[in-house]
Amino acid sequence: MLGLMQSQELLISSLIDFAERHHGDAEIVSRRVEGDLHRTTYKDVARRSRQVANALDRLDLAFSDRVATLAWNGYRHLELYFGVSGTGRVLHTLNPRLHPDQVVWIANHAEDQVLCFDLSFLPIIKAVHARCTTIKHYIALCDADALPADTGIPGLQSYEAWMGAQPSTYTWPSFDENSASSMCYTSGTTGNPKAALYSHRSTMLHAFAVALPDSLSLSARECIMPVVPMFHVNAWGLPYAAAMTGAKMVFPGPAMDGKSIYELIEAEGVLCAAGVPTIWQMMLTHMEANGLRFNTLKRTVIGGSACPPAMISTFNEKYGVEVIHAWGMTEMSPLGTSCILKSKHLAMSAQEQMKVRLKQGRGIFGVDMKIVDAEGKELPWDGKAYGDLLVKGPWIISDYFKGEGGSPLVDGWFPTGDVATIDPDGYMQITDRSKDVIKSGGEWISSIDVENIAMAHPAVAMAACIGMKHPKWDERPIVAVVKKPGAEVTREELIAFYEGKTAKWQIPDDVVFVDAIPLGATGKMMKTRLRDVLKDYKLPSA
């Protein structure tokens, strides 16, 4: 017997319809490439998304054709999120931080038909357009009078002229909720980039999960700033979850430095901001140097790479801001876990609570996790056993776009490439990425643990731990360190700083001071490139 409830496809267009009707006056504030602060509302975003939909229909695109963006976080990008997917086309968010050759490879692989870009990225488009063989239409996200002349880009139009001329009425089509809605290529730290292809259904279910109180807790009373780019896993699904709840959104646009982010948080009364640790490091450095405080910020969601304990305590103790450590990946839409204390933790000492907060968090409903040993045998949730972390659920990848790399699943589970423990309360903690883990004398050393201790030293701005070949131990850890401006620390002082904080054999063999640690296109430390930089390095003990 089937249930007798209405059957309605879960479609992204319903989000913006809802936001318009129920939260039409909630604000969307964007720092623009033009330099100014732009204010609009869900009502206007909805109207303009429908104009985008009409404009796309006129381009003669097929269902599921890819419409690419190369854009910062902002209202026009948001309109494309709803306008493109709402019509049944696939929004392909290209990452402008990639090398132009990679942009070409990805755009051709995705068979993008249209490319909408912020004017900051005009130099990239000029460099690549002749090699992007499938793109037929280039749209610059600007007013008609800001469109540069003589770019050499065929048929280049301004966004405002292109969509502004269209009617603002549009009936969103209904189709199978399993249809593709958007796509995002992984950063390709190994091999060619591969694309995760999200569906309307997976995106909607993920948005519900993101909005839950024990994940990112969105509501109509929230003011949220996605610092995480809309070109990186759909800004962790925040644009969808915000529309679902009517939360005010504040977009930093191209101004991603610590000062600009801080000033925008203060000016707009942001309550919750989400981003990777490198962004927060820049903001905290700026605040510390200028003796600044927060007046409104209550929570920061930090993920993408491990959040150093020193950052969690600075936010908590110095600024009274709760850190929600979160974990996920492109293949998971991305949210997998978020670290919110249970009521039983609230009576614990701050030190005990900190041990929990450091973990990547509890799985949210919809994400099933397990850890396994080298033979694939499931390991206990005792907080000690560590193994390869596998996940499954309705917003987790089943196959890469075009079947690239074969099926990624093992018995229906997706191997994340992370090594983790899970404690009896279900809190997962990443020990390392499996390729970064350091194998020393048959034991594993977590590069994250080594980095976290260095990051707690007051003179250290950034630390990256890598394993170096060792004749006796196989590998030994060293730590590459960037000092804070004006701060001093010696190799010996830093090694002594590890004493008593970790087992002796886990203390790095050496400290190498560097001017910068190479960061990838999503703001993560690129250990492969760091290894290239240190290719002539010899361990003192080797």
263 is catalytic: no
Within 8 A by CB and 6+ apart from 371, the residues are 378, 379, 381, 385, 386, 387, 388, 389, 390, 420, 421, 422
439 is catalytic: yes
Q: Which region, judged by CB under 6 A, interacts with ligand ADP, from 174-182, 300-308, 403-411, 498-506?
A: 300-308
Binding mask 481-510 vs ligand ADP (x if CB under 6 A, - otherwise)? ------------------------------
392 is catalytic: no
186 is catalytic: yes
Least distance in Å: CB of 429 to ligand ADP?
9
Least distance in Å: CB of 325 to ligand ADP?
6
Least distance in Å: CB of 113 to ligand ADP?
25
Between CA 410 and CA 54 the distance in angstroms is 43
Task: Based on the shown chain and the rule CB under 6 A, indicate whether residue 189 belongs to the binding site for ligand ADP.
Answer: yes
Strand blocks (E) in 386-520: 387-392, 414-422, 427-433, 438-440, 443-445, 460-470, 474-483, 510-513
Between CA 363 and CA 384 the distance in angstroms is 18
Is 224 or 397 the residue whose CB approaches ligand ADP more closely?
397
Between CA 248 and CA 432 the distance in angstroms is 35
Please answer whether residues 525 and 518 qualify as being in contact, where contact means their C-beta atoms are separated by less than 8 angstroms.
yes
Neighbours of 25 (CB within 10 A): 9
Which of residues 299, 325, 362, 457 is near ligand ADP by CB under 6 A? 325
Task: Based on the shown chain and the rule CB under 6 A, indicate whether residue 300 belongs to the binding site for ligand ADP.
Answer: no
Would you state the structure tokens that stand for residue 87, as one six-digit string?
A: 């019509």
Task: Based on the shown chain and the rule CB under 6 A, indicate whether residue 303 belongs to the binding site for ligand ADP.
Answer: yes
Do β-strands 299-302 and 272-275 pair in parallel, antiparallel, or remain unpaired? Answer: parallel
Q: Which region, judged by CB under 6 A, interacts with ligand ADP, from 170-178, 200-208, 414-422, 481-489?
A: 414-422
Helix (H) or strand (E) run with residue 38 in it: strand 37-41
Least distance in Å: CB of 98 to ligand ADP?
11
Q: Which is nearest to 225 in space by CA: 176, 175, 171, 267?
A: 267
**Collapsing DSSP states into helix, strand and coil, what is residue 37?**
strand
Please answer whether residues 518 and 530 qualify as being in contact, where contact means their C-beta atoms are separated by less than 8 angstroms.
yes
Please answer whether residues 68 and 35 qualify as being in contact, where contact means their C-beta atoms are separated by less than 8 angstroms.
no
Residue recorded with tokens 């679902």: 244
Which of residues 85, 203, 440, 522 is near ligand ADP by CB under 6 A? 522
Is 113 or 360 the residue whose CB approaches ligand ADP more closely?
360
Query: Of 222, 268, 331, 451, which is the active-site residue?
Result: 331
Task: Based on the shown chain and the rule CB under 6 A, indicate whether residue 315 belongs to the binding site for ligand ADP.
Answer: no
Please answer whether residues 36 and 84 qualify as being in contact, where contact means their C-beta atoms are separated by less than 8 angstroms.
no
Query: Of 342, 384, 435, 439, which is the active-site residue?
Result: 439
Is 13 or 360 the residue whose CB approaches ligand ADP more closely?
360
Which residues from 335-374 bind ligand ADP, rule CB under 6 A? 360
Residues annotated as catalytic (active site), given as ranges: 186, 331, 439, 444
Binding residues (CB under 6 A) for ligand ADP: these are 186-187, 189, 303-306, 325-327, 329-330, 334, 360, 416-418, 430, 433, 522, 524
